[in-house]
Amino acid sequence: MFGPRILADSLSVPTIEDKFGNIWQYHPRSDRHSKIACWAIALDLLNASSTLQRHVREGKVVFGVNHEMRDFATGRKKDLDLVLARPAGSPSTGRTLSSLIGKYGVVLHQDAADALDRLPDLEEADVGAVLVALEAKACMTAHIKSLPRLYDELNSSHLTVHGASENALAIAFVMVNLDEEFISPTINQFEIARAAPDVSVHVQPKSTYRVIQKIAEMPRRTRTGQHGFDGIGIVVVRARNDGTSIQLVGTAPAPALSDLFHYDSMITRMANEYDVKFRHV
């Protein structure tokens, strides 16, 4: 799978400028991290599912970004970071998965670039019936304080997705920061070049374990008609947010390869579910 490395390499490049002239790798008020995560997951899912590849080649499936879904029963609305869906019938926007590389600042290593070249280019278009809906979150600092909001935002995602369509696959992705220190853009609202930043200190690995435990409490489903996510993936990184490279963590507390929440397990499960559920699309 290419996604975790794409995410770490891409976010290692500072691109988000604030009003003080600081340029950040991660900023909580920017959606750059979620867009890159969704882009990478779309690549891996397309690479893993021959059925999805066929649907893309035949023009049967497109993608949408920040697509609003509405729970039919309650009227609840939520913007999902990325959806794969049947086209609504209107023309393509002209954007494709590959064309967003520059727009999102995606950094590809050679293996990922070669895989992308071999795949049909997924097009963006107006969304019809949603087949897959993805919500991507990050927990980078103030881990324990952020848990209630993180849980509530994720929980509302699968409820809205399946309230709109029981058949759609709902996926959650969470990036968790294991670094003991973090330079927060919301705390350091001044020009950092002129003064030493205020560094937030994390109690690690306890904080990361607690986040993963909370995510593990998320409802999950194994068949249509149940409530919960169809797939959940967690990637653990070390990110100080000071311009140094973001590092992937492959040992505990990161999920092991055999864990249900490992990124590879999420992609494999979603590809299989897509192949079985939507083979006749």
Tokens matching residue 74: 């309650």
- Torsional sign, CA 188, 193, 198, 200: positive
Residue 207 burial (10 A CB sphere; 0-12, 13-18, 19+): buried
pLDDT string in tens for the chain (281-residue length): 999 999 999 999 999 999 999 999 999 999 999 999 999 999 999 999 999 999 999 999 999 999 999 988 888 889 999 999 999 987 778 899 999 999 999 999 999 999 999 999 999 999 999 999 999 999 999 999 999 999 999 999 999 999 999 999 999 999 999 999 999 999 999 999 999 999 999 999 999 999 999 999 999 999 888 889 999 999 999 999 999 999 999 999 999 999 999 999 999 999 999 999 999 99
Long-range contacts: 213-220, Cβ < 8 Å, 24+?
214/147, 214/150, 214/151, 215/150, 215/151, 215/154, 215/172, 215/174, 215/261, 216/261, 217/151, 218/151, 218/154, 218/155, 218/158, 218/172, 219/155, 219/158
Cβ 33 vs Cβ 175: under 8 Å:
yes
